[in-house]
Structure formats: C-alpha cells, structure tokens
C-alpha cells in the first residue's frame, strides 16, 4: 500500500486522510506555542542586542542606507525592470518553491506517508543542518572554484533528486534514503541561497538593499505558489514544475553570467589599451 499511495502519486487533498494519522490538538498547540515563543524571543533579541542602523548611516553611501522606507520601496520597484533582474526572477522563484516543497510536500508524501510523522522533525533537522554547513563550505569553495561550477553541481544534484522523487517508491524501512535526500537537498539549497544572493550584490553595486529585497520578494513568490498548489496537485506534477523552473532559471542565469563576463572583458580591454597608448586619443575613449 505504501509504494502505491506514497511518493510521486501522493495527492494531499485526497490521500492525506488515509495516509497521515491526525495529530492531537494538544501537540499542535504546543508546537504553535514554541514557534510563537521563538518569534518573540528573536524579536526581543534583535531589538535589544542589535545596534541601530543610524550609527552606520554616515559611513554608508550609495546602497540605500540613507533612504526612507518609501524611497527604498521605490528603488526596489524600479529595479524590477532591470534586464538582469528580470532574467533572475525565475531562479529566485525556484529557490523558494523547492524550499517549500521539501518542507511541506516531501515530508508529507515521503516521510510521513512512508515511515511516520515521528520522523519529520529529524529529517527537517538533517536538512537544516546540511543547509547551514553547506552555506559555510560553499562560501569557501566559491573562492577556489568560482561560482559557476557550484551552480552546475547544484543543478546536476537537483536533477538527480527530482528524478528520485519521480521514480522512487518509498518503503516503510527506507528511512536512511530520506536522510540522504535531506542532506543533498540541504547542500543544494545552500548553494542556491549563498551564490545567487551574493551574485545580486555583484550585479547591482550601489543598489544592494533593493537587490536583496527583490531576491526575497521573488523567493517568497515561490513559497506562495508552492503552498497554493500543494493540496491540489500530485507530488509528480509539482516536481515537474520545479524541474521546469530550474532549467529555465539556470539557463537565464548562464545568460546573465555570459553577458556580464563579456562586459567585463570589454572594460578590461579598454583599460589595457588606455594603459598602453593613453586615453588622450579620442579613438580610444569610446571603445565598446
């Protein structure tokens, strides 16, 4: 029954009642209380322990630090029409979508359905730990290999993970496979988050706040899409959607990388010519 009901064919709106045992209200209330307490503690710690941004406004120029809330919103919206920003929208949506898919759909269709709801927390802890460790490791790896090889590696691993969710039929004794998937998914997510986020800072110098706001905006759109369609589509359909968004997003990212590297090569070529011949000659001042 588990291989038929769980996995790629799982449909929350019709299969959840049969596959997932209802949780007692006391447990739900306890978890909600813990979540709210963590939110309150985090807010208090930030309000009390983090220095006010006003201390740094005098030394921050060109990044939106001196803008009011509405002015920063205007800059953020204005950045939406930038060609590079538009090309990166798809991969941003994919990042949010795959995060929400793992937290909601994967845990329901594979973890809860196959091995029980008691393993959901441990699988998510494994995913979060792998994500956190991956953020540190990939930051160092990027200095050695560059950003592009890491993006290619994350794409290939995600392709393998999506193929697994489509083809693999989970069994009651296959908990170890779920933990392996959680580790790989967490590492891939760390690459997407760190490298794409950092790339925004490189692409939009002087507009970092607006750029990072757009990153979070479209990532949140991915979350919204994932949770809106979650009850009404089978796991396989959502996997195909993620696969499509990833392929389109990565291709657009490669195009942005190509255009940006080509632009930098032209700038370096112009600087070399200026160094060799001097820039007083008008012929060398408008080299494209």
Residue with tokens 């389109």: 248
Domain assignment present for 52: yes
Domain assignment present for 269: yes
Summarised one tens digit per residue, pLDDT across range 229-280 is: 998 999 999 999 999 999 999 999 999 999 888 887 777 777 666 666 665 5
From the CA atom positions of the chain, what is the Rg in Å? Answer: 23
d(CA 33, CA 117): 19
Pure H helices in the chain: 2-5, 12-19, 25-49, 69-79, 83-100, 113-115, 120-145, 147-167, 175-191, 197-203, 208-229, 235-277
Using a 10 angstrom Cβ sphere, with 0-12 exposed, 13-18 middle and 19 or more buried, the burial of residue 124 is: middle
The count of structural domains within the chain is 1
Domain assignment present for 107: yes
Q: To which H or E segment does residue 107 belong?
A: none
The pTM score is 0.83
d(CA 254, CA 83): 14
Domain assignment present for 128: yes
Domain assignment present for 41: yes
Contact 114, 280 (CB under 8 A): no
Contact 102, 127 (CB under 8 A): yes
Domain assignment present for 53: yes
Domain assignment present for 207: yes
List the domain range (segments joined by +) for residue 245. 2-276
Domain assignment present for 285: no
Q: Which CATH number does the domain housing residue 33 bear? A: 1.20.1250.20
Residue 58: pLDDT above 60? no
Mean pLDDT of the chain: 84
């Amino acid at each position: 029954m588990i291989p038929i009901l769980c996995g790629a064919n799982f449909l929350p709106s019709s299969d959840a009642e049969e596959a997932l045992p209802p949780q007692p209200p006391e447990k739900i209330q306890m978890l909600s209380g813990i979540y709210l307490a963590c939110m309150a503690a985090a807010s208090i710690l930030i309000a009390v322990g983090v220095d006010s941004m006003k201390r740094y406004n005098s030394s921050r120029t060109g990044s939106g630090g001196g803008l009011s809330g509405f002015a920063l919103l205007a800059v953020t919206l204005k950045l939406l029409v930038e060609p590079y920003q538009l090309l990166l929208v798809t991969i941003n949506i994919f990042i949010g979508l795959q995060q929400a898919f793992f937290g909601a759909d994967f845990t329901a269709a594979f973890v809860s359905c196959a091995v029980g709801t008691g393993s959901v927390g441990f699988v998510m802890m494994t995913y979060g730990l792998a994500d956190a460790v991956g953020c540190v490791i990939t930051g160092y790896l990027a200095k050695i290999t560059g950003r592009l090889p890491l993006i290619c590696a994350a794409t290939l691993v995600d392709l393998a993970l999506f193929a697994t969710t489509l083809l693999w039929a989970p069994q009651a004794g296959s908990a170890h496979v779920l933990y392996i998937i959680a580790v790989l998914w967490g590492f891939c997510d760390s690459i997407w988050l760190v490298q794409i986020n950092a790339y925004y800072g490189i692409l939009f110098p002087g507009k970092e706040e607006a750029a990072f706001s757009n990153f979070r905006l479209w990532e949140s759109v991915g979350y919204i899409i994932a949770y809106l369609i979650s009850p009404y589509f089978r796991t396989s359909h959502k996997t195909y959607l993620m696969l499509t968004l990833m392929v389109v997003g990565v291709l657009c990212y490669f195009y942005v990388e190509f255009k940006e590297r080509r632009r930098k090569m032209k700038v370096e070529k112009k600087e070399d010519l200026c160094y060799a011949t001097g820039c007083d000659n008008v012929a060398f001042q408008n080299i494209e």
